Each structure stands twice: as structure tokens, then as C-alpha cells.
Structure 1
Amino acid sequence: MDFDLSWILLGLPLAFGLGWLASRFDLRQLRIENRQTPKAYFRGLNFLLNEQQDQAIDAFIEAVQHDPDTSELHFALGNLFRRRGEYERAVRVHEHLLSRGDLSEADRQRAQHALALDFLKAGLLDRAEDALLKLEGTPFEAQARLALLANYERSRDWPQAASIASKLDNSDSGSFSSRLAHYLCEQAAAHLTAGETAQARSLLEQAMTTAPAAPRPRIELASLLSSQGDHAAACTTLETTLQAAPAATPLVAAPLANVAIASGRVPTVLPQLKASYEQAPSLDVLEAIVALEATQGSNGHTARDWYVRHLENEPSLVAAAKWIAGEKLEHEQFHPQVQRALDHAVKPLTRYRCAACGFEAKQHFWQCPGCQTWDSYPARRVEEL
């Protein structure tokens, strides 16, 4: 049978025309989709800038539906869910990203980090820990370790916190030696509660080596030694604290005075406290000096003289109240009422205040109960700040 070339000549223009129409249709559809997706995306961005999070979420969901393969839209949507407190939806978005086989390694690590933040915000600490540990060796490693550190602090898992702090201290993330010393002190406190004094002492000595300028390990070691009856060693430990951490002298003064009296080392300690007071007057140091001088046979006027001397240099209502307590007033029958009013007035002035959040407390804390910041409480009381 002869092959008719006329059919080829007729078919070629027809095939060309159909192909051209198909391409035009595809291009038109592509243009429509491209117009729709950026429009929804930019609308969501506009809502976000205007702090209209509900409308922004709706717009981003629409954009994701038009282009489900775009990872950036998923990240934006997941972060919005987390900011709104919709942690379950944020987790679903980021888990969906991690389940995609076409996701780049960089985006996979980013999604893993976002998922860990979702768990942290939701308070799912165990799942957050698992997610953060998977970020070891990634660009998010330092951030993950910091988050793990906060996680272990919240759960009071001090050995794990110490392990992470050691890794951070050995990296380029800054110095964590002071934080590590606190973790060792917390572990020592747990051993003391359990009656394991040897382990507690070992940890405190390790903390002193880790952070030589940190006052807490020395103060707590001195307390341990004093409880064991070794007042001389406790006194020596606190004396070294005056040199290693002079800013903590107001915290050291009272226990140092006690162990100095117990060990018979008042003549040695008293000049040191007086020298510290001359350099930086403090009510706590002043009280320690008064207590030590009282043991050397000084009469009652010495204490009042110290309070007057303090008032000459520092306008202190606390010192004034203490001075008046030992004075005879013209109308002595009203002295108790006046003294009671003064004591009530000075109570807020004798508190400690967190420099980070302003939380006030009667006692000094190494970690603020309010904002959980370490070393945010100055050694001086509110009146002296």
C-alpha cells in the first residue's frame, strides 16, 4: 500500500497548532497561579506587619494551598502558630516539613530547630530534649545547647545542665564557668540533704576550681566546714573569699564574724573587715564589725559610734534606726512606738532586689525566683543600691 505524504503535510500544521494552544493554556494557568500565590503571601505579610495574626494565618494557609511545595511559607505559618500559642498546629506544620523527601538538608535542620522550639513553648520538655539533641553538629548546635541548658534548669537536672555548660564553655559561646559552678553547688546541696557530706565537699571544691572568682562555692564550703566544727578552716575559706570576690564582702561578713569568734581569730579578721568597710561602706560589714568589737570588751557606745560614723558618710535610715534603738530620748515613754515605726519603715530597705526583673526578697538568692537569672542579685541591700 502506498503511503500518502499529503496526510503528513496536513498533520504537521494541525499538530503545531494544538501544541501552540496547549502551551498558551499552560502559560496562562502558570501566570494565574503565580499571581495568586504572591498576592496571598504579600497579603499575609501585610497583616503580619499590622499585627493582625488571625488574618495573616488565613492568608498564609491560602498561599500554602496554592503552592504546597514552598517551605518558606510553611516556616512562616508554623512560626505564627507558635507565637499565637497554637503549639499543636505548629508541631504539625514542622513535622510535615520533616516528612518531605525533597527538603534540603539546611531546611531540614531549620525545621528540626523550629519543632524543638514548639515543644519547649508547649512545655513538652522530654520531646523538646529529643528534638534538640538531634541538632548536634548542625549550625543550630549552639542555640540547641542553650535551649537544653534552660530545659535542664527548669527540670532541675543539674548533672545534665553541668554537662551542657561544660560543652558551651569549651566552645566559642562565651564563658559558662560561673554557671557551671552554680550547677555543682546545686548538686552539692542535694548531697548535703542526703547526708553525703564527702560528696558535697568534693563538688564544692570542684566548683571553686572551675570558677575561682565565684563567691558561692567558698561561702557554702565554709558553711559545711563550720557545721562539722572546723571553724578555723571555715574562717580561712571566707578570708580567701574577701580577696577572690571583694564585691561579695557584704554576704561574707556575717558568717565570717561568726566563725572568727568560734575559732578565736577575731584579731585577724577584724582589721580585714575594717579595711573592706573603708573601701566600700556596707551595713552588713558594719554589723559584722560591731559584733566582733563587742567580743573584745568594747562598751555599748562603740556600736552607736559606728552607726554615727556611717551616717556621716551614708544617709541610711537603717543605720539611723539602729542608732536610735540604743539612745535615750527626751520623751522615753514614746520610744517603743517610735522604734516600732522606724523598724517597720526600714524593712523594705533591707531586702535584696534582682537587677534583671526587680523581684525583691528578704534573703539573697543566687538564682532569681522571678526571672530565673543567675547572679542577678547584688550583694548589697536595696537601701545601698
Structure 2
Amino acid sequence: MEFDISWILMGFPAAFVLGWLASRFDLRQLRRENRSAPKAYFKGLNFLLNEQQDKAIDAFIEAVQNDPDTAELHFALGNLFRRRGEYSRAVRVHEHLLSRADISKPERERAQHALALDFMKAGLLDRAEDALARLEHTPYENEARLSRLAIYERAHDWPQAVQIARLMHSHNQGDYSVRIAHYLCEQALGQQAQGQLDAAKDLLQQAQSEAPHAPRPRIELAHLQHKSGDPVQALGSLMALASVSPSSVPLVAPLMLELVKTDKRKPQVRALLVANYHSSPSLDVMQSLVQLDEFARVENADGPVGRDWYVEHLRHEPSLVAAGRWLAQETLSHEEHHPAVQRALDNAAKPLTRYRCAACGFEARQHFWQCPGCQSWDSYPPRRVEEQ
């Protein structure tokens, strides 16, 4: 049989035409898909800018369906779910990203961080802790450690908080010595509640070594010594505190007054309180001086004595609290109106005797080392609202 080459020559044009038609079909389909994906994506952005999150989510879901391999669309969708409080849907999006084998290492680390944030927002602290621990040795390491520290504080897991704070301190992520001292003090309070006074004392001494200039370890140690029946040591701790942290004396002035009642160091304590008051006038120090002068029967001292401290304070500070306390024991004309006037003054002065957080403004009757409102440490000044 003779081979006819004319069939091959006729086949070349036919193959060319078929190839051209196929390429045109593929190009049209690709253009159509590329037009639909950006259209849905930009539609979602427009809804997001107009704060229409429901419509933005629908648009991003459409964009993901058109282009399921785009990681950025998944991140945008997951972040939207988290912002709306739909944490389970956000978790599913980010877990889907982590399950993919085709994403790069930076995208995988980013998805792991986003998943940890989902768990944090949802209050699933155990799962959040595990997800954050996997971010060690990644660009999100520092942020992950801070989040873990927040989890341990929230859970009152003070030993773990000490461990992670020391890790951050050793890696030059900030000075966490005072924070570590707070954690050790919290552990000590837990030991005291269980009657383990020796263990509590060891923790407080560790805290004092960790942050020598922090006032709390010395204050807590003085309270523990007083509770253990050692007022001499307790007063010594507070007098040492006055030289390390003079601004903290108003917090311990009432305790110093209680301890000095059975101690021979009344003149030294009074001199310390007077010097502290003259350096920085305080309502608590002033009140302690009034009471100390009354029960110690101090007379003919240099400067004010007893209730004269109220008048001395009013000369420098327009204090409604001091005025009310001075008026409480004064004999005035129209004495029958005195109780009503006194009640009015006391009610007006009561809000002024609170402590106020410098970070969030939360007010409380007692001083806190950690704000109950914003969870900030050392945000409460040792002075009352009226003095700020």
C-alpha cells in the first residue's frame, strides 16, 4: 500500500485550527474567572468599608469559592468571622488553611497565629495556649509569649506566669522583674490561705530579691510577720520600706500605727511619718500622725501635734476630707445642726477617699496591685482620688 503524504499536509491546517479554537476557549474561561474573582473581592472590600459585614462575608465567600487556592481571601474571611464573634467559623477557616500542604511556611505561621487569636477570643484558653506554644521560634514568638502570659494571669496560674515572664526577661523582651515579684506575691498569698506560712515567707523573700525596689514584697512580708506574731520584725520591714519606696508609705501608715502601739520606737516612727508627710503631704500619713500623737500623748513637739495636723494639711491642700475630720470633734455654735452638717460632709467626701486606676479610671475603696477592671499592674497610685 502506497503512503499518501497529502493527508498529512491537509492535517496540519486542521490541527492548527483546532488548537487555536481550544486556546481561545481556555483564554475566555480564564478571563471570565479572573473577572469574577476580583469583582467579588472588591465588592467585599466595599461592603467592609461601609461597615456592612454581613454582605462583606457573603462576597468573600463567593470570592473563595471562585478561587479556593487564594490564602489571602481565607485570612480576610477568618478575620471577619472573628470580629463578628463567629469564632467557630473563624477556627474552621484557619484550620482549613493549616491542613493545606501547598501554603508557604510564612502563611502557615500566620494561620497558626490567627487560629490562636480565635481561641483566645472564644475563651478556649487551653486550646489557645497550645496554639500559642507552637509559635515559638517564629516571627510571632514575642506576641505569642505575651498572650500566654495573659492566659496564665487570667487563670491565676502564677508558677507558669513566673516561668514565661523569666523567659521573656532573659530574651530582652522587657524588664519583667516587678511583674515576677507580683506573681511570687500572689503565690505567697495562696500559701498563706492554706496555712503554709513558711512557704509564703520564702516566696516573698524571693520576690524581694527579684525586685528590691518594688514595694509590694516588703508590704506583704510585713503583713505576714504581723500575722505570725512578730510585730518587731514587721515594723522593721515597714521602716525599711520607707527608705526604698517613700511613695508607698501612705499604704502602710495605718499598719505602722497599729504595730507601734506595742513598740518602743514611737519617736522614730513619728519622725519617719513627719518627714514623709513634709516631703509629700498625704491624707493617710496625716491621719496616722493624728492618732499616733493622741495615744502617745505627744506634747510640745516641733510643728503640729494631734488634731492640728488637719489644720496644717488645710493650709497646703484644700481638702474636703481633712475639713470633715477636723470638724467632727469641734464644738460649734448651733450644735444641734452639727450632726446633719457632718453627715453631709462625710457623704461628699466619701468618693474622694477612693483609689483610681490611672489606666482605665476604675475606682475602688481599697488599693489594688492589679486593676480589677483593665488588669493592669501597678496602675493604682498609693494616694486617694482627692490627692491626685
Q: What range describes the TM-score normalised by the shorter chain of this pair? A: over 0.9
State the partner residue of 2:80.
80
**1:316 CA drift (Å):** 0.2
2:378 to 365, 375, 384: 375
2:368 equivalent to 1:337: no
Equivalent residues of 1:222, 1:234 under 8 A apart:
yes
Matches within 5 A, 1:166-245: 166-245=166-245
Cα distance in 2 for residues equivalent to 1:368 and 1:176: 18
**1:151 CA drift (Å):** 1.0
**1:229 CA drift (Å):** 2.1
Cα distance in 1 for residues equivalent to 2:187 and 2:376: 18
**1:334 CA drift (Å):** 2.1
Indicate the SS of the match to 2:296. Answer: coil
2:132 equivalent to 1:132: yes
State the partner residue of 2:113.
113
Query: Per-residue displacement from partner, 1:330-384 (whole Å, max 9, x unpaired)?
Result: 1122222221221122111111111122111111111111221111111100111
User: More deviation in 313-322 or 250-259?
Assistant: 250-259
2:310 equivalent to 1:318: no
Indicate the SS of the match to 1:306. Answer: helix
AA in 1 matched with 2:57: I
AA in 1 matched with 2:344: A
State the partner residue of 2:282.
282
1:359 to 353, 358, 362: 362
**1:299 CA drift (Å):** 6.4
Cα distance in 2 for residues equivalent to 1:140 and 1:248: 38
User: More deviation in 141-150 or 332-341?
Assistant: 332-341
User: More deviation in 128-137 or 259-268?
Assistant: 259-268
Cα distance in 1 for residues equivalent to 2:193 and 2:372: 21
State the partner residue of 1:53.
53
AA in 1 matched with 2:178: S
User: More deviation in 97-106 or 337-346?
Assistant: 337-346
Equivalent residues of 2:290, 2:307 under 8 A apart:
no
AA in 2 matched with 1:314: E
State the partner residue of 2:160.
160
User: More deviation in 286-295 or 73-82?
Assistant: 286-295
Cα distance in 2 for residues equivalent to 1:135 and 1:172: 18
AA in 1 matched with 2:102: D
Equivalent residues of 1:317, 1:346 under 8 A apart:
yes
Cα distance in 2 for residues equivalent to 1:112 and 1:76: 15
**1:217 CA drift (Å):** 0.8
AA in 1 matched with 2:275: A
How many residue pairs match? The answer is 385
Equivalent residues of 1:307, 1:320 under 8 A apart:
yes
How well do the aligned residues superpose, as a CA RMSD in angstroms? Answer: 1.5
Cα distance in 2 for residues equivalent to 1:108 and 1:196: 47
Equivalent residues of 1:242, 1:252 under 8 A apart:
no
2:340 equivalent to 1:347: no
AA in 2 matched with 1:275: A
Equivalent residues of 2:310, 2:323 under 8 A apart:
yes
**1:100 CA drift (Å):** 0.2
Equivalent residues of 1:321, 1:343 under 8 A apart:
yes
Identify if the C-alpha distance between structure 1 residues 246 and 231 changes in structure 2 by more than 3 Å, giving closer, same or farther: same
Cα distance in 2 for residues equivalent to 1:19 and 1:190: 80
2:29 equivalent to 1:29: yes
Equivalent residues of 2:98, 2:108 under 8 A apart:
yes
Q: In percent, how many aligned pairs have the same letter?
A: 64
User: More deviation in 307-316 or 288-297?
Assistant: 288-297
Unaligned runs of 5+ in 2: none
User: More deviation in 313-322 or 230-239?
Assistant: 230-239
AA in 1 matched with 2:214: A
Query: Per-residue displacement from partner, 1:1-26 (whole Å, max 9, x unpaired)?
Result: 33221111111111111111111111
List, as ranges, runs of 4+ consecutive aligned residues in structure 1 with deviation greater than 4 Å.
none
Cα distance in 2 for residues equivalent to 1:172 and 1:48: 39
Identify if the C-alpha distance between structure 1 residues 3 and 284 changes in structure 2 by more than 3 Å, giving closer, same or farther: same
Cα distance in 2 for residues equivalent to 1:299 and 1:56: 78
User: More deviation in 2-11 or 74-83?
Assistant: 2-11
Cα distance in 2 for residues equivalent to 1:102 and 1:240: 63
Q: TM-score, normalised by structure 2?
A: 0.96
AA in 2 matched with 1:202: D
AA in 2 matched with 1:279: S
AA in 2 matched with 1:332: E
**1:110 CA drift (Å):** 0.7
Indicate the SS of the match to 1:336. Answer: helix
State the partner residue of 2:331.
328
User: More deviation in 264-273 or 196-205?
Assistant: 264-273
